[in-house]
Structure 1
Amino acid sequence: MGPDSQKAGGGSNTGDTSTRLGETPQLVAMKAAAAESPEAAKLLDEWQRHITPLNFAQEELLERLIKGIHDYAEGNSVAYDGQMRALVCALIRFTARYLDQLQSGQRKVPWLRPEKTDLPGEDVLADSLDDALYFAGLNSKAEIANVGGGRVDVLVEFQRCRFAIEVKRELTHHTDDQLVSKYGTQAVQYAATDVTAVFLAVLDYFERQERLDIDAVFWTRQLQLDSLSRNYALTALRVQAHVDSPSASSRRSGYGRVSKPIKRV
């Protein structure tokens, strides 16, 4: 049996982290986590039976974000790698879904590109995110009190760790670092008694002519609120809620629809 056949054979040893033929790095990492944790093994089983794999771009994004969290989060982040991957994977799917959505027409999502006089609050994003995480099989709840001394917008709980997601709304342009500077301190405090990976989701109503792609709307930064406290990994995402359609860029440049076909030469 050749080396490729041995890789494809699989076997029952989930602790083998070598990349087998046809397996993504994401799946290999989840199998490694499953070998160490019964809870992660259950998550892996659900993922394999019910979840369509991320596409190539989303998978690369997942690995970048997970690496950033491991680099920045103080403590043994490897211990909750499987739980963290399940959550980050769901966040990527959620963000990609709304990045693909039309923002005009009768069937558009109501809070995407609404009338300027009636802009929804951040609660619409919190509720939509909470629903998406719940439907992804995660134990997600919105508006939970007594977390880090306050009330967190969305909380995702596992058996031995929980992840807080702070949700905000912005009407004007803010860079990634400006959003972290403005809201990061609040988000991090919700993890005061838990693991050092936290999340921020921003409902961005800044009017854009072109949309940022999936890789550009996620970023991770390290925060430490006090020299005596731990270093935290804050992963943020931006949901662009007021963006022109791709065809609008052609109309603006004067190369939109034409009344007569262009003659080929």
Structure 2
Amino acid sequence: MGLFNYIVHKILGNIFYSDSLKGKIGELEVNNALNPYFFGKKEHKQINNLVIVDENLKSHQIDHIEIRLNGIFCIETKNYSGLIFGSENNNKWTQCLRRGKKNYFYNPIKQNKSHIFHLKKILENKYNINSLIVFTQNNADNININNVINLIDLKTYLNNFNDGTNYTSEDIDYIYNKLISSNKNISNSKHIENINNTKEEIRSGICPRCKGKLILREGKYGEFYGCSNYPYCKFTIKK
């Protein structure tokens, strides 16, 4: 558990330490970790809590975008305690707490894929965007996936990342300005309403990205629903 996270938890206790507050604290810890004063004065630009609205008037809240010489990173923050289990293809991941209690949450890799899909459209598909999932309580060791990491490993991961990308300062400025100009101010209640509408569309067999039909298909890991507009739209969800 990060220091700020720990202090707030001790002060407020379990009663007021809501899921929403935990999420905000987790985002703040990643924000602090990316801050040049702590992270090292690398050339980069950072966007926190970007909210975009797509052509279907659906809102998407993105925790962090890190734009660096060696790449663009869409960072999804998770502030869960306990032991975390899941795989890249599971729809749900598992949080195991004391006394055998378990909670389930949507696979953050799939969640981040949707964010990246919309970010790429804003950037006119000119740039690759890397997905990164950060567990702020440093309990991701049971997830054996390269881009799912602990907060303590964030600095090393970003510094050592190398896929051949080498952006210029002008590239970084352009990408930052393009993304930040897409930010929308909407209420939290409206964003939650959009999320619920998306869930309802999926239950009705409608692709939440492009409004195509969700078709039952057979894949390497069993049956799943995929968008009828594939390969343009690669949205999938396990049966």
TM bin (shorter chain): 0.3 to 0.5
Structure with higher strand content: 2
* TM-score, length-scaled by structure 1: 0.34
* TM-score, length-scaled by structure 2: 0.37
**Computing the radius of gyration over CA atoms, which structure comes out larger, 1 or 2?**
1
